[in-house]
Chains A and B, each alone.
Chain A
Amino acid sequence: MAQEVEAKVAPGAAFQQRSVAVAGFDVRYWEAGSGEPVIALHGAGGVELSLAHELLADRFRVLVFEVPGFGPQENTSVLDPAGMAAVVLGFADALGLDRFAVLATSMSGPLACRLALDQPQRVVRLILEAPAALRGHGARNPFTMTPQDLLRAFNRHPERVAHKAMPDPAFLGRVAPLVMGLVGPPFDADLADALGDLTVPTLVIYGLDDGLTPPEAGREFRTRIPQCTYALVYDAAHDVQGDRPEAFADLVGDFLARGQQFLVPDADSRINP
Chain B
Amino acid sequence: MKFSYFGAVPYIAPEVARGWPVAPRHFDRSFGPSSMEQATVLFELAHELGFDALTVAEHHYATRQITPAPIVTAAALGMRIPTARINVLGAPLPLLNPVRVAEELAYLDNLLEGRLDVGLFRGSPNEYMTYGTNPRESKAMFNEGVELLLRAWAEPEPFAWEGVHYRFRLVSLWPQPFQQPRPRIFVSASSPESAAFAARHHLDAAFSFMPLSVVSELVAIYREHAAEAGWEPTADNVLYRANAYVAETDEQAAEESVAHSWGSPVGIAAPAAPRDAASVGEVMGRIAREGFSEQMAAIFGAGGPPGAPPLPGVLGSPATVIRQVAAAEEAGIGRLDLVFNGDTLPVELGTRSLRLFGEEVIPAVQRRTSSVPVSA
Give chain A's interface residues, CB within 8 Å of chain B. 205, 208, 218-219, 222-223, 229-235, 244, 247-248, 250-251, 262-264
Given the complex of chains A and B, what is the CA–CA distance between A148 and B169 in angstroms?
33
Residues 133-154 of chain B, each 1 if its beta carbon lies under 8 Å from chain A, else 0: 0000000000010011001000
A232–B148 CA distance with the chains assembled, in angstroms: 10
Shortest C-beta distance, B230 to chain A (Å), equals: 16
Measured between beta carbons, the chain B residues less than 8 angstroms from A222 are 157-159
What's the minimum C-beta distance from A231 to chain B, rounded to whole angstroms?
4
Residues of B within 8 A of A248 (CB): 162
Decide if A232 touches B151 in the complex (CB within 8 Å).
yes
**Smallest CB gap from A203: residue in B:** B160
Known: A208-B147, A264-B169. A234 touches B160 (CB 8 A): no
**Residues A230 and B147 in contact in the complex (CB < 8 Å), given A244-B162, A263-B169:** no
The reply to whether B170 and A232 contact each other, CB–CB distance below 8 Å, is no
Quick one: which of A219, A223, A233, A264 contacts B162, CB cutoff 8 A?
A233
How would residues 147 to 188 of chain B score, 1 for a CB under 8 Å from any chain A CB and 0 otherwise? 110010001111111111010011000000000000000000
Which B residues lie within 8 Å of A223 (CB)?
A: 157
B162–A232 CB distance below 8 A: yes
B147, B156, B157 interface centre (most CB from chain A within 10 Å): B157
Most buried by B among A231, A234, A247: A234
List 10 tightest A-B contacts by C-beta distance, closest first.
A231-B160, A234-B163, A222-B157, A219-B157, A263-B169, A233-B162, A251-B162, A230-B159, A247-B162, A263-B170
- The closest CB in chain A to the CB of B166 belongs to A234
Known: A229-B169, A234-B144, A263-B170. A218 touches B162 (CB 8 A): no
Closest to A236 in B: B162
The interface residues of chain A lying within 8 Å CB-to-CB of B162 are: 205, 231-234, 244, 247-248, 250-251
Return chain A residues, CB-CB under 8 Å to B161.
Answer: 231-232, 234
Q: Which chain B residues lie closer than 8 Å to A208 at the CB level? A: 147, 151
A250 to B164, CA, bound (A): 12
Query: Complex Cα distance A208/B148, Å?
Result: 10
What is the minimal beta-carbon distance from B89 to any residue of chain A, in angstroms? 25
Instruction: Provide the residues of chain B in CB contact with A229, threshold 8 Å.
Output: 160, 169-170
Is B147 a contact partner of A218 (Cβ separation < 8 A)? no
- The docked-state distance in angstroms from the alpha carbon of A248 to that of B157 is 21
Q: How far is the CB of A129 from chain B (nearest CB, A)?
A: 12
